[in-house]
Amino acid sequence: MSEQSALSRDRFFLKADRITKIYSDGTVALKEASLEVRPYEIVGLLGENGAGKTTLTKILSGLLPPTRGRVISPKGPIRFSSPREALDFGIGMVHQHFALVGTFTAAENVALSHDRPFTRVRIAETQQALESLMEESGLRVPLDVPIEKLAVGEQQRVEILKVLSRDVELLILDEPTSVLTPLEVDELFELLRRLREEGKSIILITHKLKEVGSVTDRVVVLRHGEMVGDVKTSEASTEQLASLMVGQALEEEADAVELSTEEIPHKRERKPIDRSGDGVLHVRDLVVNGNTGEIAVDGVSFDVYAGEIFGIAGVEGNGQSELVESLTGLRVPISGTATIHGANILGIDPRQIYRLGVAHIPEDRWELGLVLPFTLAENAILGVHRWEEFRGPLTFLRWGKINRHVRELMDRFDIQATGPNAPARSLSGGNQQKLIVGRELAKDPAIIVASQPTRGLDIGAAHYIRKTLLDMRDKGCAILLVSADLDEVLAHADRVGIMYEGRFMDVCTPDELDRKRVGMLMGGAKSKEGE
Amino acid sequence: MSPNESSEQSRLLRGAHRTLTGLHPALESLLAALVGLLVGAILMYIYGFDPWKAYMGLVKGAFGGSYEIASSLARATPLILTALTFSICLRAGMFNIGAEGQMYMGGIASVVVACFALPTGLHQIAGLLFAAFAGAVWSLVPAFLKLTRGVHEVISTIMFNWIARWLALYLAIYVIVDPMRPEKTLSIPMSARFPVLVRGTDLSYTIFVAIAFALVIYFILWHTAIGYEVRAAGLNPTAARYGGIRNKRTMFLSFVLGGVAAGLAGATIVMGLPPTYAIYGGGGLPQLMNLGFDGMAVAMVGRNHPIGILAAAVFFGGLNAGGRVMQFYGSNPVPLEMVRVVMGAIVLVMSIPELIRLFPMIKKQGGRLIERLRRITRRTERGESA
C-alpha cells in the first residue's frame, strides 16, 4: 500500500472510463458515464433515484461488470470479478443495507469479512487489530456487544471499520446519511474529513444538496445514467447543482415527447375544480412511524378534491410510503385525522376502506399488489372477492362471473395474457400493472391512491396508465399521485406537495415551480423566498 | 414475530409451493417416486436381495387382486386425512406438524361413543363429531399460542404431539380401558362401527369419509371466498393484507380444518378398523403411531392438493400393504423396513431442489436424442428412396 499512498495529490487513484451498463431486462442504467477519483479527495455523487449512482459504484467495487467501458487504475485497465478482488485492490463499499450478522459482535462480524474458506477465524486477533484501528481513526464502537443491540449509526461505523480494516484506499458510501440522526451525520462527516487527511479517496453517494456542500471537494452529477456535471464544490452554487440534478427545462422535454394535444394533460378541456369544503380526502396533522419506530410522516395536512390530481414529489424514503400505507389501512398512524367524504379511514381494515371508495395502486406490484402464483382471475378479485357480484351463498365464488369480469378487464385495459387462468407471474411488468389498475378502477372509486404507478414500466405501458389516470380525473375522481418521477408529477398534478423528511416543504401548482426550485426543495433546501 | 422472520418463513413456504422443475406437479411427484424406488432397489441390491423380485412382491401385495387393493385402500384412508391436515395449513402459510397428536386425540374421543347408545347412523356421526372436535381443539391451542404469544407453530405442534401421545396412553390404560381386556380400550359398539366394504378385508366405509372430506377441502380452497383468502394469505401475506384479508383469521381457520381432518383420521382407525374397533394401549398405540407423520410425506408427494393427496395416499397405502407381502415373498425376504427406506428416499428426492432440477435437463437431453433419432431415420428413409 505504501506505493499507493506515495501517489501525489494530482494523480488519480481510479478512473471509470465511459461506462455503459445495460441490465439483462434491457434497462439502461448508465450511458458512457465517466468518473475519476484522486487521493486526498471526497467526491460527491449526486443524482435522483434511478440516476445510476449505485450502479456506477457497484461497478467500481466489483459487484457488477460493466456492459461497455473500462475501470482504469494508474497501472492500466482492471477488471474485478468479485467485491473481494476489489477489496484486495483497495476499494471498499459501505452499502445502504448493511451486511452484518445481527447476533454477532462487531469483532466477529469483521472477522467474518476477513474469513476465507477452511481457515481459522481469528476473533481475538481481529479484536486487537480493531482496537488499534479505532485508536487511529477515532471511530469508536463497542466490540463485544451483538450488532442488533447497537444503534443504526453504530452499525454503520462497524461497516466502515470492516472496510477500513482491509486497508482500503477508496471508500464508497451509498447514501450513508439516510439512516442517521443529524448528530451522527456530523460525526460521520468529521470521520470522512480525517480519512481524507490520511490520503484516502472517498465517494459519497447522496441526493441531499446540503451534504454535498458541507463535506465534498468535487461533485459529479448523474442524470438518467449520464454524467451531466463534474464541478468543484467551492465553485458550484446549490441552485446550479439542483438544476443539474433534475434537468434544465421541463418544457423542452415535454415537447420532445410526441403527444397529441389531447394527451398533454394541462391542455385537456376540463371543468374547473371545486375546492370548497373538505375535499374527498381530508388529512390533518398526520404523524406516522416508520418500520424502525422513527417518525416517518411528521404532521402532514392536505385535501384532495374531486376531479383533481394531488401529486406528492420528493426523493424516495422521505415518508411517502408510510403516508400512503396509513391512508390505505396498511399502517396505523400515531396521531392525526384522515377522512373520506367525512368518514374516518385511519386504523381500520383495508377492506372497509375499499368500501368507502378508495382504490389503491400500490408501489410494490410484486409484494403488495399481486399474489404472483395466483392466476389473472384470482388476482383480479383480490380485495373485492367478498363483493356480492362475485360471491354466492356460503361464500362460494362465482367463477363464471369472475372470468367474464376478467375478460372485460383484459379488453378494456389491453392486458396481454393467454387467458383468465394464466398465472400473474407469467405477465410482463406492464401487463401486471394494467391488471392492478384495472382491478382498482373496477371498484368505481371516489379516490385513487396511486403510488409509483409507472415505475419500471416501458414507455407504452407507462403512457397508458397515465392516460387512464387522467381519464379518471376528468370523470370526477380524486387522485393522490405519489411518484419519485418528478416529470410525471409535475406534468400531471394540479397541485404538488414536495416531501422532505416527513413534511411538505411546499404545496403549490406545478406552474409556480421551476425545476431549480423543485430540486432545492427535494434536497431539503428552503427557497430564498421561503426563508 | 419480527418482519424479517415472517418474510423468511413466507420465502420458505413459497419454496414449498413452487413446482421446482416447471414440469406438471403430478409428473414431478411421479418422477420422485420412481427415483425413490430406484434408491430402494440399489440398497436392496447392496444388501444382497433381488430388487426385481422384491418389487414384484410389493406390487402384487399392493395391487395384485381385490383383497390386496382393498387393504391398500384401507391403509390409505387415515393417510388421506392426516395429509390434508398438513396441506391445509401449508396452503395458509404454516407448518402444522401436529397431525400425529391431533389424530391421537381424535381417536381417543371417538372411543367415548362406546359409553352411550344411539341408533346406527347417528352413532357413527356422533363418533365422527367427537373426533373432529377433539382434533380441532388440540390444533387450536398451538394456533392460539401463535396468534397471541408468537410461539412458532412448528415447535408447539411437535410438543403437543408428545403431550397427546402420553395423554392418549393414560386415557387408554386407565380411563376408557376395557375392564375385561386391559390391553385395549373399550370397543366401539356395533351400532357405531363403520361396516366393512369388502368382505374379509379391513377396508371399511370410512374411506368415503376420507374422500368426502378431501373433496370438501378442495371445494373450500378453490371455490369459496374463505378458501381464496386462505390461499392468498399463504402465498403472499402482505398482498393478502392489502386485499383486506385478515391473516389471523385464515390461520385460525386452517388450523381448525386441519385439526378436524386429523381427528377424523383417528376416528377412521377406531371406528372402521376390524377386528377390535378399539385402541391398544399396550406397545404405545401401535395402530395409530406415525400415521400423522406419514401424512406429511403423502401431502408432499400429493403436492398439497386434495386430489393429488388421494392418489399419493393410495400409493403410500400400497407401499405399506405390499411391504408386508414383500417380507414373505419367495426366497427373497426383504425386511419391511426397506419399504420405509423407499418412502424416505421419495420424500428426500422431493425436497432436494438441486436433484429435481436434473429432470428438465433429462427432458431436454431426451428431446435432443429423439430429435437426432428422427433425423437419422429420415435420412435413412431418404437414402432408401434414393
A322-337: pLDDT as tens digits: 999 999 999 999 999 9
Can you name the CATH fold of B3-351?
ABC transporter involved in vitamin B12 uptake, BtuC (1.10.3470)
pLDDT at A257: 42
> To which H or E segment does residue A412 belong?
helix A399-412
Grid cell for residue A212: 454535498
- A395–B243: do the CB atoms touch at under 8 Å? no
Are A373 and B17 inside 8 Å of each other by CB? yes
Whether the pLDDT of residue B183 is over 90: the answer is no
**pLDDT > 60? residue A7:** no
Candidate CATH numbers 1.10.3720.10, 3.40.50.300, 3.90.700.10, 2.70.98.20; the one for domain A1-90+170-247: 3.40.50.300
Nearest to A90 by CA among A115, A112, A66, A62: A62
Can you spell out the DSSP letters for A15-38?
A: EEEEEEEE-TTS-EEEEEEEEEE-
Q: Which residues of A touch B246 (CB under 8 A)?
A: 349
Query: At residue A462, does pLDDT exceed 90?
Result: no
DSSP state, residue B333 = -
What grid cell was written down for A318?
422521505
Q: Does B11 touch chain A (CB under 8 A)?
A: no
Mean local confidence (pLDDT), A430-440: 91
Instruction: Say if the Cβ atoms of A382 and B231 lie within 8 Å.
Output: no
Other CB atoms within 10 Å distance of the CB of residue A436 = 26
Taking CB atoms and an 8 Å cutoff, what residues of chain B touch A386? 225, 244
| Residue B249: exposure state from Cβ atoms within 10 A (0-12, 13-18, ≥19) | middle
| Sheet of strand A14-22: strand arrangement | A28-37, A14-22, A68-73, A76-78
Q: Mind giving me the DSSP string for B120-172?
A: TTHHHHHHHHHHHHHHHHHHHHHHHHHHHH---HHHHHHHHHHHHHHHHHHII
Can you tell me the distance from the alpha carbon of A240 to that of A236, in angstroms, rounded to the nearest whole number?
Answer: 6
pLDDT tens digits for range A233-256: 888 887 788 788 777 544 444 444
pTM: 0.75
The residues that bridge with A496 in the sheet, in sequence order, are: A311, A508
Residue B253 has a pLDDT of: 95
| One-letter-per-residue 3-state SS of A218-259 | EEEEEECCEEEEEEEHHHCCHHHHHHHHHCCCHHHHHHHCCC
CB atoms within 10 A of CB A117: 4
Which run of H or of E encompasses A471? helix A459-474
C-alpha–C-alpha distance, residues B82 and B90, integer Å:
13
- Confidence check: pLDDT of B23 > 70: no
Q: Domain segments of chain A: what residues?
A: 1-90+170-247, 99-166, 257-522
- How far does the CA of residue A11 sit from the closest CA of chain B (Å)? 46
CA distance A419 to A442: 18
pLDDT band at B208, cuts 50/70/90?
very high
Q: What is the mean pLDDT of residues B141-159?
A: 93
* B305-335: pLDDT as tens digits: 999 999 999 999 998 888 888 887 767 788 8
CA separation for the pair A376, A418 (Å, rounded): 10
Q: Where are the domains of chain B?
A: 3-351, 360-386
Lowest mean pLDDT among A37-41, A107-111, A227-231, A452-456: A452-456
Closest CB from B224, B232, B243 relative to A397: B224
pLDDT score of A311: 94
Q: What is the percentage of chain A residues whose pLDDT exceeds 90?
A: 30
pLDDT digits (tens, 9 = 90+) for B40-77: 889 888 988 888 888 888 899 899 899 999 999 999 99
The CA-based dihedral angle spanning residues B144, B148, B153, B159, taken in that order and rounded to the nearest 10 degrees: -70
How confident is the model at residue A258, as a pLDDT? Answer: 39
Vertex B285: Cα angle to B284 and B287 (nearest 5): 135
Q: Measure CA B41 to chain center.
A: 24
Does B17 sit within 8 Å of A396, measured CB to CB? Answer: no
Q: Would the CB atoms of B239 and A395 count as touching at under 8 Å?
A: no
Q: What's chain B's average pLDDT?
A: 86
Q: What is the DSSP letter of B177?
A: B
Return the residue in B14, B24, B236, B305 with the most chain A beta carbons within 10 A, the one to mutate for interface testing.
Answer: B236
Search chain B and give the residue with CA nearest A386.
B225
State residue B351's pLDDT score: 66
Could you tell me if B15 lies within 8 Å of chain A, comparing CB atoms?
A: no
Nearest chain A alpha carbon to B3: A291
* pLDDT recorded at residue B229: 95
When pLDDT is cut at 50, 70 and 90, the band that residue A312 belongs to is very high
Note the pLDDT tens digit of each residue in B262-311.
999 999 999 998 888 888 887 778 888 889 999 999 998 888 999 999 99
- Distance separating alpha carbons of residues A67 and A72, to the nearest angstrom: 15
CB contact under 8 Å between B239 and A394, yes or no, is: no
* Res A82: pLDDT: 84
Matching CATH number, A257-522, of 3.40.50.300, 3.40.50.720, 3.40.50.620, 3.50.30.50: 3.40.50.300
Sequence-distant (6+) residues with CB within 8 A of B119 are B191
Indicate left, alpha or beta for B173 from its phi (over 0: left) and psi (-120 to 50: alpha): alpha
Report the sign of the C-alpha dihedral through residues A515, A520, A524, A527, in that order.
negative
A165 Cα to chain B: minimum distance (Å):
29
* Terminal Cα distance for chain A, rounded: 49
Q: Where does the pLDDT of residue B129 fall: very low under 50, low under 70, confident under 90, or very high at 90 and above?
A: very high
Tell me what percent of the residues of chain A surpass a pLDDT of 70: 90
CA distances to A43, A54, A74 from A57, in Å: 12, 5, 18
pLDDT at B145: 94
Other CB atoms within 10 A of residue A367 CB: 16
CB A41 within 8 A of CB A218: yes
Are the Cβ atoms of B228 and A354 closer than 8 angstroms? no
Query: CA torsion sign, A455 to A456 to A461 to A462?
Result: positive
pLDDT score of B379 more than 70: yes
What is the band of A207 on the pLDDT scale with cuts at 50, 70, 90? confident
Of residues B274 and B92, more confidence is placed in B92
Do the first three CATH levels of A1-90+170-247 and A257-522 match, i.e. the same topology? Answer: yes
Residue A20 bridge partners (DSSP): A68
Quick one: closest CA in B to A397, which residue?
Answer: B224
A84-137 tens-digit pLDDT: 888 888 999 998 778 888 888 888 888 888 777 777 777 888 888 888 888 887
**Count of CB pairs separated by less than 8 Å, A with B:** 73
Cβ contacts of B232 on chain A, cutoff 8 Å: 371, 374, 378, 382
Residue B196 reports pLDDT greater than 80: yes
Q: Does the model's ipTM exceed the 0.90 cut?
A: no
